[in-house]
């Protein structure tokens, strides 16, 4: 990377090798959402690093997930609202993936399972806070870092903790990675809905008694066509049937079929409209039955004046650091959706620039890991 000129950038750049060492250690520990022992292991590792930085660390047990880690730096002004930093420690990758694809750095690219989503952001948080502590520049208000272990499965066990901490905060900074080439910070995200549709028919012999059966797969196929027809790109609404399971044998008219449905919406009003339509599905074939369950998992993160003001602060700091900071919106959800829906100003995708989340070619830019760490440190200092 070019030699940085800003003092904060210079100091953090000198720690680049140490940052990569920690990132390597985190990436090379498998932490799938479905493996509580593994996610608790990495949660304790990060918690120990926070304790080394003088934080008060606690763990929130979560049934079916690893312990969520909360670290708080509080100068004693507990009555004043502080800043909440959100990261997650779980990944979509199964156990053994880190052994198959261990952490590597080639030129400016760091790769490995979870490097972008979002272990790079965890390293960023630790080194930003460490930089402020070394310079005796921690803000005069609380700073809380929450690393949950179930974000990839919807933050079901951590949602209450996230929302309670957000209500005690003046703003929320989410360290999800940002998209290349210029890594826009997200001031809006779509809301996410998850639904399970089950169709019920009547089984019969596909040859000898075909007319006596009610084909649950056919019933589902008709609903899939109708569900996909609800996609409206102008509204920012998409519906995707991504998983289907039905039938037992090719010579049996199937009595049951199940489909998993993903919904993305840009506004709460659209979310309510779409939920009514999906939950209200009725049978299309005589004798068939339909059951639908689910709903909005994450509300939309809608750009507000307060979020725009928070972005303006980040953009100004970026200019001081010699960085071009832009803004954008995203179709994927994050824990920032939860905090923004409470009316707490939230700035997302403050993490390093990278791509390939949930894919084999996942990567982040080492240069931007350093740059975004400096940006976060300066944000914490002035907010």
CATH number for the domain spanning 39: value is 3.40.630.10
Confidence band, pLDDT 50/70/90 cuts, at residue 218:
very high
What does the pLDDT read at residue 2? 62
| 344/225 same-domain check | no
Instruction: Tell whether 221 is covered by a domain.
Output: yes
Nearest C-alpha neighbor of 227 from the set 154, 284, 297, 268: 284
Q: What's the rounded mean pLDDT across residues 114-130?
A: 98
User: Model's pTM, two decimal places?
Assistant: 0.91
Write out pLDDT tens, residues 228-286: 999 999 999 999 999 999 999 999 999 999 999 999 999 999 999 999 999 999 999 99
Q: Which CATH number covers residue 217?
A: 3.30.70.360
Residue 1 has pLDDT above 60, yes or no: no
* pLDDT of 359: 95
Nearest to 14 by CA among 378, 375, 380, 373: 373
* Residue 119 binned pLDDT confidence (cut-offs 50, 70, 90): very high
Residue 127 has pLDDT above 80, yes or no: yes
Please report the pLDDT score of residue 31 as a whole number.
Answer: 97
Q: What is the pLDDT of residues 6-43, one digit of tens each?
A: 999 999 999 999 999 999 999 999 999 999 999 999 99
Q: Quick one: CA torsion of 340, 324, 354, 299, rounded to 10 degrees?
A: 10
79 domain residue, yes or no: yes
Same domain, 170 and 259: no
31 and 179 housed in the same domain: yes
- Are 239 and 119 in the same domain? no
**Residue 135 pLDDT greater than 70, yes or no:** yes
Q: CA–CA separation, 173 vs 89, rounded Å?
A: 16
Residue 277 resides in a domain: yes
Residues 67 and 215 in one domain: no
In a domain, 90, yes or no: yes
Q: Tell whether the model's pLDDT for residue 77 goes beyond 80.
A: no
What is the average per-residue pLDDT within 333-360? 97
HEC string of the chain equals CCCCCCHHHHHHHCCHHHHHHHHHHHHCCCCECCCHHHHHHHHHHHHHHHHHCCCEEEEEEECCEEEEEEEEECCCCCCCCEEEEEEECCECCCCCHHHHCCCEEECCEEECCCHHHHHHHHHHHHHHHHHHHHCCCCCCCCEEEEEECCHHHCCCCCHHHHHHHHHCEEEEEECCCECCCCCCEEEEECEEEEEEEEEECECEECCCCHHHCECHHHHHHHHHHHHHCCCECCCCEEEEEEEEEECCCCCEECCEEEEEEEEEECCHHHHHHHHHHHHCCCCCCCCCEEEEEEEEEECCECCCHHHHHHHHHHHHHHHHHCCCCCEEEECCCCHHHHHHCCCCCEEECCCCEEECCCCCCCEEEHHHHHHHHHHHHHHHHHC
Domain boundary among 298, 329, 351: 298
**Is position 252 within any domain?**
yes
Give domain status of residue 2, yes or no: no
pLDDT of residue 3 exceeding 90: no
- Assess if residue 156 is contained within a domain: yes
Burial 128-167 (b: 16+ CB within 10 A, else e): bbbbbeeeeebbebbbbbbbbbbbbbebebbbebbbebbe
Q: Are residues 68 and 201 in the same domain?
A: no
With beta carbons less than 8 A apart as the criterion, state whether 226 and 282 touch. Answer: no
pLDDT of residue 374 exceeding 80: yes
> Whole-number mean pLDDT of the chain?
96
Handedness of CA 268, 273, 276, 282 (dihedral sign): negative
Give the residue from 279, 298, 317 where a domain finishes: 298
Same domain? For 218 and 178 the reply is no
For residue 351, what pLDDT is reported? 98
In this structure, what token pair is assigned to residue 47?
Answer: 């918690």
- For residues 153 and 214, membership in a common domain is answered with no
Do 307 and 166 have their domain in common? yes
* Interval 291-345: pLDDT, tens: 999 999 999 999 999 999 999 999 999 999 999 999 999 988 999 999 999 999 9
* Domain span at 294: 191-298
The reply to whether 45 and 174 lie within a common domain is yes
Q: Residue 363 — very low, low, confident or very high, per pLDDT cuts 50/70/90? A: very high
Residues in the chain: 383
What pLDDT does residue 181 have?
A: 94
Q: Which of 240, 265, 298 is the last residue of a domain?
A: 298
Considering only CA atoms, which of 174, 143, 180, 126 is closest in space to residue 15? 126
- Is residue 31 a contact partner of residue 66, using CB atoms and an 8 Å limit? yes
The token duo for 50 is 């926070």
Total domains in the fold of the chain: 2
Categorize the per-residue pLDDT at 203 as very low, low, confident or very high, splitting at 50, 70 and 90: very high
Whether the pLDDT of residue 78 is over 90: the answer is no
Tokens of 39: 């996610």
The alpha carbons of the chain give a radius of gyration, in whole angstroms, of 23
- Stronger pLDDT, 78 or 158, i.e. the higher one: 158
1 within domain boundaries: no
Residues 261, 288, single domain; the answer is: yes
- What's the rounded mean pLDDT across residues 46-50? 98
- Asked if residue 105 and residue 53 are part of one domain, the reply reads yes
């Amino acid at each position: 990377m070019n030699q940085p000129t800003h003092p904060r950038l210079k100091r953090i750049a000198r720690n680049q090798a140490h940052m990569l060492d920690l990132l390597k250690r985190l990436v090379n520990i498998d932490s799938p959402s479905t493996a509580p022992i593994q996610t608790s292991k990495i949660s304790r590792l990060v918690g120990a690093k926070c304790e080394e930085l003088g934080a008060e660390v606690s763990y929130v047990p979560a049934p079916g997930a690893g312990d969520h880690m909360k670290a708080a730096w509080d100068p004693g002004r507990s009555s004043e609202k502080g800043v909440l930093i959100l990261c997650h420690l779980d990944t979509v990758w199964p156990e053994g993936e880190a052994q198959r694809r261990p952490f590597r750095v080639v030129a400016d690219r760091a790769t490995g399972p979870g490097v972008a989503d979002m272990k790079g952001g965890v390293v960023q948080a630790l080194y930003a806070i460490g930089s402020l502590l070394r310079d005796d520049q921690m803000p005069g208000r609380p700073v809380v870092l929450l690393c949950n272990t179930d974000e990839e499965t919807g933050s079901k066990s951590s949602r209450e903790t996230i929302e309670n901490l957000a209500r005690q905060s003046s703003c929320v900074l989410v360290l999800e990675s940002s998209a290349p080439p210029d890594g826009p910070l997200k001031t809006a995200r779509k809301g996410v809905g998850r639904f399970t549709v089950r169709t019920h028919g009547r089984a019969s012999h596909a040859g000898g008694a075909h007319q006596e059966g009610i084909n649950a797969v056919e019933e589902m196929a008709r609903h899939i066509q109708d569900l996909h027809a609800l996609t409206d790109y102008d509204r920012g609404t998409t519906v995707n049937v991504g998983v289907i399971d039905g039938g037992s044998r090719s010579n049996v008219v199937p009595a049951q079929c199940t489909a998993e449905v993903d919904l993305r919406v840009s506004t709460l009003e659209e979310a309510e409209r779409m939920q009514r339509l999906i939950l209200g599905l009725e049978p299309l074939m005589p004798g068939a039955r339909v059951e639908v369950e689910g709903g909005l998992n994450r509300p939309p993160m809608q750009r507000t004046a307060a979020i725009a003001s928070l972005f303006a602060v980040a953009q100004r700091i970026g200019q001081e650091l010699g960085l071009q900071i832009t803004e954008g919106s995203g179709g994927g959800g994050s824990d920032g959706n939860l905090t923004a829906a409470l009316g707490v100003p939230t700035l997302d995708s403050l993490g390093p620039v990278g791509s390939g989340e949930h894919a084999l070619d996942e990567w982040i830019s080492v240069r931007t890991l350093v740059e975004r760490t400096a940006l976060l440190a300066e944000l914490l200092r002035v907010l």
